Chains A and B, each alone.
Chain A
Amino acid sequence: MKYLLQRIMLGVLAIFLVATVTFVLMHSVPGDPLRQEKAIPESVRQNLEQRYGLNKPVLEQYSIYMSRMFLQGDFGISFKQANRSVNDIIRKHFWISAVLGIMSMTGALLFGVALGVVAGLNRNRWPDYVAMIIAVVGVSIPSFCLAYFVQHFFALQLKILPVAGWEGFTSAILPSMSLGMIVMASMARLMRSSMLDVVQQDYVRTARAKGLSRFQIIFKHQIRNAILPVIVYFGPLFAAITTGTFVIENIFGIPGLGQFFVNSVNELDYTVIMGLTVFYAAFSIVIILISDLCYSLIDPRIRLAQ
C-alpha cells in the first residue's frame, strides 16, 4: 500500500514535471500561434491575446494553466481550430487510437505467445527455427515499410481487406498487423526464453511424474508460469504503441489522435501540444503502473516493495 502511494505520487510528480518542461519549451520556441500569413491589426491581436491569456506575465500564465489542468482537468482551447477544446479533441479521437492499440496488442500477444511456446517446446528443431526467423525478421522491418507492403499485398493485390479508412473490424486488421508486428516478434522471443527456463523446473517434472497429460502440463503448468516475465514488458509496449501510431494512422487514413499531435507541433498550437503531451505522458505512466500491479497480483512471489 505504501508502495502504491509512493508510485502514484511519483507518477503525479512526473506528469507535473512533463507539463512544466513542455510549457517552458513551448514558450521559448520562436514564433507564436497567432502569427498568420496576413498581418493582423494591432487591436485584433490584443483582443486575441486577451482571449487566450497571452498578455499576462509568463509566470501567471503558467499558474493558470497548471491549476486548470490539475484541479479541473481542463486543457484549454485550441489556438488553430476555432473554439475547439483540447478535451474535445482527446474525447473524440483518442478512443480510435486506443482501439487500434488494443487490437494490435491483443493480436501481438496471442500470436507472439503461441510462436514462443511452439519454439520453446521444440528447442533446436525446425519449428523453433521457423518461429525465431519470423521473430527476428519481425523486429527488423520498420512498421511503416511493413504497412505499405501489407496494404499493397492484401488490399490491392488480393483485394480481401479494405485499403484504408476506419469502418468496422476488417479495416482495422491491416493497421493492427503492421503496428503489432514488432511487439509480436519481441513477445515471441521473450516467451521462448522463458519457456526454456520453465521446462527445466521441478514442478514440471513433478507434474509429469504425476502422470498428467502433455496438454495439461503445457497449458496449466508451463505456459502459466512462463507468461509472467512477458507481462512485465506488456505495459511499456502498450503505452509506446498507442503513442506511436501516427505513421500507421497516416498511411491507413485513420482519424486517430496522432495526426493532431504532429499537426499541432508544426502549427505551434500551444494548448494542443501541451494538452496532448501531458495526456500521453499520464496515459503511459498509468498503463505502466497498472501492468506492474497486475504483475504482483498474478505472481505472488514478486513483492512490489522491492
Chain B
Amino acid sequence: MTPTNFDTQKPDTHSDKSKASEAHGFVAPPPGLFVRRTIKSDEALESIQRPSVSYWQDAWMRIRKNRLAMVSGSFILIMLISAAVVPELLPYKYDEQEVWNKHAKPSFTGVPAVVVAQDGVQYQALTVDPQTLIADPTLAPDPTLPPEAPTTVELIGTSLTTAVAFQWSPVPGADGYRIYRSIAADTLGVPLQDLSATQVSFQDRTSLQAGTRYHYAVLAFNPMGDSIPSPLLSVTPKLSLSLEDAKRLDASAVVGGEVMTHPHYLGTDYLGRDLLARIMAGARVSLGIGLLAPLIYILIGIVYGCISGYMGGTIDNIMMRFADIVSTVPYLLIVIMVQVFLGSGPTTLILALVIASWATSAQQVRGEVLRMRESEFVHAAQVLGTRFHKIIFRHLLPNVMGTVLVLLTLSIPQAMFAEAFLSFIGLGIAPPMPSWGSVTREGAKVFLTYPHQLVIPAIVMSVTMLAFNIFGDGLRDCLDPKLRGAR
C-alpha cells in the first residue's frame, strides 16, 4: 500500500487496525490516516482547482440548477411518453364514435346503461273514441272556442334516452293533440308531432341526451285554435343503448340487462369521440411534426451554413443570396403552395415547414461558423495542415452544436404553432386524424355551449409550448458562453 492521498486508502484495513489498537487500551492512529505528502512546488499548493469538466458536463450542471427548466424538461418527457403510451391504454380509438354520447362532460366514472332491443322499446299506443267523450250532451264543449288543455300527463314505464312514452287525459272536443319538448321549463320548445284525436299516448323515439332534463307538454287543438299547455311532464331519461352498441362495450350484454359505459375523462366532442384519445393521438401528430420538421431543416441549415460560412468568397455570396431570397418569402405562402400541390397530411406539413424554414437556420449557423472560423483554434488547425473535412467535423461542428441545440428547442414550439395554425384554418391535417390544431378548431365551433372542448386542448397545447420555450431559454442560458460566470 503506497498511500498518496486519503482516497486510495482501503476501508477494511482501517477497521482491522482500530480493533487491534482498542485491545491494548491505547488508540494509535491507523497507518495511512496521516500521510506524508511530497509537495512538488509552491504553485501546486497555492492553486485552487475545481475538477475539470467538459463543455457538456458543465452545461448539464448548470441546467440542473435551473429548477424551472428541469420541470419543463420533465414535462416534455412526460408528454412524449404519454403521447406514445396513452392512446394504447385507452379502451377506444381517436376516431371511435359513441353517437349516443355527444358533447359529454368530463367525468371519471362510466354511466350505467340499459340495453334495449335493436328496434327500441315495445310500446302499445293508447287510443280512445272521441265520440264517447261527449256522450253526455251537457259536457259537450263549445264549438266556437278552442278546447281545454289535458289535465294530466303521465309517464309510461321508465324514461330512456331512446324512448320516452307518456299518456294524457283525453279532452272532449279536441280534433287532435300536439306534443312539445323543451329543455327549459319556461318555454314550450319544439313541436314534435301532431296526433289525431283518437291517440292519447306518445313515444318520443329521438335519441336524447342522458342526464339532461326534458319537459314535455301536450296541447289539444281544434279548428278554433290551440288550448293552453297541459301540466309539464319533466323527465331525466336514463341512458339506453341498442344491443349492437352495448356489445362493443361488453360482449356479454343482453337485452334488458345493464352495461357500464367507458368513462370519458375529458368528455367527448361533437361526434361523440373521446377528447382524451383525440388529444393524445393529436399529440403524436403535433409533437411529431414539431420535432421532426425542425430537426430536418436545422440539419439542412447546418450543412448549408457550414459549407457557406467556411468556404467564404463567391460561393458564400451566391449561397447566402439564395437563402436570403427564400427567407424573404412569407412562410405561410410556401406552406399553402406545397399544400395545394401535394394535398394535406403530416408529410406535406413537414415538407412545407422544411422548405419554408431551412434558410433562416442556415443563416444563423453560417453566422456562428464565421465567428468560429476566425478563432485561434481553427487557425491553429489550418496551420498544422488539418484537412478540410476534419476541421469542419472536429473543430467547427462541436462548437456550433450549442447554438444549434438552442435553435432547435426554440424552433420546436414555432413548428408546433405553425402546424396548429394550419390545421386550425383547415389546411393542415385532414380529418378524422386529429392534431392539436384540428381538435381546437372543432372545440372552437362549440365554444359557447361546451367551453371545455376548446379550453382543455388549448391548455394542453399552450402548456407544452410553454415548457418548450422555458426549456429552450434554460438551455440557452447554460450553453451561451457569454453568460459564463454571470451567476
Contact = CB atoms under 8 A, between A and B. Distances in A.
Interface stretch (A60-68, A69-77, A239-247, A297-305): A239-247
Interface stretch (A94-102, A169-177, A214-222, A281-289): A281-289
Contacts of B463: 140
A89 B333 CA distance: 18
Interface string B324-338: 110011111100110
Given A28-B341, A29-B341, A142-B462, A14 B325 contact: yes
A10 B321 contact: yes
Nearest to B338: A25
A243 B341 contact: no
A50 interface: no
Interface stretch (A36-44, A78-86, A106-114, A144-152): A144-152
B421 A10 contact: no
A145 B421 CA distance: 10
Contact of B420 (A17, A142, A156): A142
Interface string B396-421: 00000000000000000100010011
B470 interface: yes
B458 interface: yes
Contacts of B328: 11, 14, 281, 284-285, 288
B425 A262 contact: yes
A140 B425 contact: no
B332 A243 contact: yes
B330 A142 contact: no
Interface in B454-478: 454, 458, 461-463, 465-466, 469-470, 473
Interface in A23-40: 25-26, 28-29
Interface string B183-218: 000000000000000000000000000000000000
Given A29-B341, A145-B458, A246-B425, A140 B447 contact: no
Contacts of A288: 328
Contacts of B330: 239-240, 243-244, 280-281, 284
Nearest to A282: B328
Nearest to A14: B325
B363 interface: no
Given A144-B444, A152-B447, A25 B454 contact: no
A262 to B, nearest CB: 6
A13 interface: yes
Contact of A136 (B324, B341, B466): B466
B440 interface: yes
Contacts of B458: 141-142, 145, 148-149
A130 to B, nearest CB: 15
B424 interface: yes
A144 B420 CA distance: 9
A137 interface: yes
B421 A144 contact: yes
Nearest to B331: A240
B427 A25 contact: no
Interface string A142-169: 1111001100100010000000000000
Interface in A260-297: 261-262, 265, 268, 273, 277, 280-281, 284-285, 288
A140 B466 contact: yes
B454 A10 contact: no
A21 B328 CA distance: 14
Given A142-B420, A281-B330, A284-B330, A148 B444 contact: yes
A144 B458 CA distance: 10
A136 B425 contact: no
B340 interface: yes
Nearest to A240: B330
A139 interface: yes
Given A244-B332, A265-B336, A144 B424 contact: yes
A22 interface: yes
Contact of A29 (B329, B331, B340): B340
Looking at A17, A142, A262, the one whose CB has the most chain B CB atoms below 10 A away is A142
A265 B340 contact: yes
A17 B440 CA distance: 36
B333 A262 contact: no
A148 B329 contact: no
Given A29-B340, A144-B444, A262 B466 contact: no
A118 interface: no
Nearest to B459: A145
Contacts of A265: 336, 339-340, 427
B465 A13 contact: no
A29 B336 CA distance: 13
Nearest to A273: B340
Contact of A141 (B339, B427, B462): B462
B76 to A, nearest CB: 13
A29 to B, nearest CB: 6
Given A25-B340, A246-B425, A262-B427, A17 B466 contact: no
Given A136-B466, A284-B330, A142 B421 contact: yes
A250 interface: yes
Contacts of A262: 336, 425, 427
A18 interface: yes
Given A14-B328, A29-B340, A262-B425, A140 B465 contact: yes
B59 to A, nearest CB: 20
Interface string B315-326: 000000100110
B324 A10 contact: yes
A28 B417 CA distance: 29
B444 to A, nearest CB: 6
A140 B462 contact: yes
B333 A142 contact: no
Contact of B413 (A10, A14, A22, A140): A140
A145 B455 CA distance: 8
B466 A137 contact: yes
Looking at B321, B337, B444, the one whose CB has the most chain A CB atoms below 10 A away is B337
A259 to B, nearest CB: 10
B375 to A, nearest CB: 19
A280 B458 CA distance: 30
Interface in A105-126: none
6 closest cross-chain pairs (CB), A and B: A140-B466, A145-B458, A140-B465, A14-B325, A243-B330, A141-B462
Interface of B: 321, 324-325, 328-333, 336-337, 339-341, 413, 417, 420-421, 424-425, 427, 440, 444, 447-448, 451, 454, 458, 461-463, 465-466, 469-470, 473
16 contacts: A10-B324, A18-B333, A25-B341, A28-B341, A29-B341, A140-B466, A142-B417, A145-B458, A148-B444, A148-B447, A240-B331, A244-B330, A247-B425, A280-B330, A281-B330, A285-B328
Given A14-B325, A142-B421, A145-B461, 8 more contacts: A28-B341, A140-B466, A145-B440, A145-B462, A148-B447, A240-B331, A247-B425, A262-B425
